[in-house]
Amino acid sequence: MRRLLLLAAALVAVPSWLVLAQPGGTTLEALTNPQEDPSILPAGHGQEEVFYACTACHSTAIIRRSHFSREQWDGLMDWMTDRHGMSPLEGDERKMIVDYLAQHFGPQQAPARGRNPFLN
């Protein structure tokens, strides 16, 4: 039992040690996504705002693989705030970000099922 506890403690300690050990105080985000910058997102009004508001906690990959309606993106903003501690997005900034997400990562961008991917 004692051995198990030690093992558990070591498992918890290792990730923070890995982050702290990086020269120059590199964050985990930078470690996992060293080359991401706003241009990884489609160009458009809100591109930079989305990049900087959304990559504090995760890379853009989780955004780029998503296809949601405007309502779903809007609801997701609240979920990210309530559940994950994102600073609340409000007013014009929220509108710009949700518009951008809905326009570039809307349901219509999802590959249609059954369509031959080589013919379009």
Give me the residues that bind ligand HEC (CB under 6 A), please.
53-54, 56-58, 62-63, 66, 76-77, 80, 84-86, 97, 101
Q: Compute the least distance from the CB of residue 84 to ligand HEC, in Å.
A: 4
**Dist. CA 48–CA 43, nearest whole Å:** 9
Q: Is 87 helix (H, G, I), strand (E, B) or coil?
A: coil
Q: Compute the least distance from the CB of residue 98 to ligand HEC, in Å.
A: 8
Q: Compute the least distance from the CB of residue 106 to ligand HEC, in Å.
A: 13
**Dist. CA 60–CA 50, nearest whole Å:** 9
Closer residue to ligand HEC, CB minimum distance, 10 or 15: 15
Q: What are phi and psi of 112, to 5 degrees?
A: -70, 135
